[in-house]
Amino acid sequence: MTLGTLVILGSGETAPNMVKVHREVLSRLDRVHGVLLDTPFGFQENVPQLTEKILDYFATSLQVSLDPATFVHRDATSELQRAQYLDAVRSANFVFAGPGSPSYAVKQWSTLDFTDALETVLANNGVVTFASAAALTLGAFTAPIYEIYKVGESPHWIPGLDLLGRLGLRCVVIPHYDNAEGQNHDTRCCYLGERRLRLMEDMLDPDVATLGVDEHTAVIIDLAAQTLQVRGRGNAYWRSGDFVRTLSATDLVPLSELQAAPTTARTPLVISPVSALSDIDVLATTALTGGPDAALAVAQLTRRAATGGEGRIDPAPLVEGVLRARALARDSKQFDLADQLRQALVDGGIEVQDTPSGATWRVPSETEA
């Protein structure tokens, strides 16, 4: 049995800089018989327009004609139409799915033998390319991004297609891994942020890893060669417990190395109760050495700096030091830490204003309080 190629795109599925990636994987096929799956965006009102946009991208940029395979909702299709949809997938040698809602896609696909159909494509030396929302569905579990990020539901997983599990990689997939749209809040890890992703990883069995894929970046899994390569502008990341391996475009990684990656226990996030820190020396030491009470110590120090009275301290050295630490955290893309440092100052009564030339601060007067 010949084995094909699974491609996971972190985003930018129809971006100009992804043309080279698509060409590379399509060149593995003698003749392209491709289908576009509209299920991930099947809940939207503009399904025809989105379909046309993606079809036009492949036709114009790659000179490849894809056939639309329509399955927008199980209740809107007959048993015959569902059979025709699965037959269209199985008989293709290139399957593409992209933007939309991962939870919606999984809900519809779970009513079909859909993972079997994708596995058939790969078994026949075909290419399966899942991007963005569709990529989230490939793992053992799927993160319901909209429900968590937009609706405010507690972090949780829903069952995924587990195509990767059948290929020997027991993991979840997180595209948009380096997203920076939030500016003043952490939208890395597909808008979940590092903190929420860590909470969700704590819910997984120890043998379930996380495959993160940066935006405008492709992970190409060659099943015949049993290797993984990265293409595009960023990296991929294999997170297993507290072990993180960065996968770059210079690497050719045997799948066996990921399968055998350490499964160290995850260090749980600790949310400490408010403690009775009071002595200035103790607070300063705690703030400097870090740990679970560091942010609380900074907040209490800044409150003393702002409010005066007994135990008042000069705020300038402390606030300037915290703002320098925050700038360094932002430069190194540690956005969660940067947000925590800023919030600690605000909680302590310091007004912080971000400007194009850097952050400024002041202590509001009593009349403003």
User: How is the chain split into domains, by residue range?
Assistant: 5-259, 280-362
Task: Name the pLDDT band for 361 (thresholds 50, 70, 90).
Answer: confident
Amino acid at 359: A
Query: Residues of the chain with pLDDT > 70: what percent?
Result: 83
How many CA atoms lie within 13 Å of 278's alpha carbon, on the beta-carbon side? 2
**Per-residue DSSP letters for 221-263?**
EETTTTEEEEEESS-EEEEETTEEEEE-TT-EEEHHHHHTS--
Task: Name the pLDDT band for 279 (thresholds 50, 70, 90).
Answer: low
End-to-end CA distance of the chain: 73
Nearest to 34 by CA among 2, 65, 3, 72: 65
User: Tell me: the pLDDT tens digits for 32-61?
Assistant: 999 999 999 999 999 999 999 999 999 999
Mean pLDDT over 194-221 rounds to 94
Query: Residues of the chain with pLDDT > 90: what percent?
Result: 62
Residues, the chain, total? 369
Structure tokens at 25: 């994987």
Q: Are 218 and 229 in contact (CB under 8 A)?
A: no
pLDDT at 134: 97
Task: Name the pLDDT band for 270 (thresholds 50, 70, 90).
Answer: very low
pLDDT at 365: 60
Nearest to 215 by CA among 246, 236, 196, 197: 236
Mean pLDDT over 261-290 rounds to 53
pLDDT at 282: 58
Task: Name the pLDDT band for 294 (thresholds 50, 70, 90).
Answer: low
To 10 degrees, the CA torsion angle through 252, 256, 262, 267?
Answer: 70
Which homologous superfamily is 5-259 in? Class I glutamine amidotransferase (GATase) domain (3.40.50.880)
Mean pLDDT over 189-202 rounds to 93
pTM across the whole model: 0.72
Structure tokens at 161: 């297609």
Structure tokens at 212: 């993160």
Structure tokens at 15: 């971006």
**Max CA pair span of the chain:** 80
Backbone angles phi, psi at 303, to 5 degrees: -65, -40
User: Tell me: the pLDDT tens digits for 89-108?
Assistant: 999 999 999 999 999 999 99
Residues with Cβ within 8 Å of residue 265, at least 6 apart in sequence: 206, 241, 242
Task: Name the pLDDT band for 274 (thresholds 50, 70, 90).
Answer: very low
User: Tell me: the pLDDT tens digits for 151-188?
Assistant: 999 999 999 999 999 999 999 999 999 999 987 889 99
Number of DSSP helices (H) and strands (E) in the chain, helices first: 14, 16
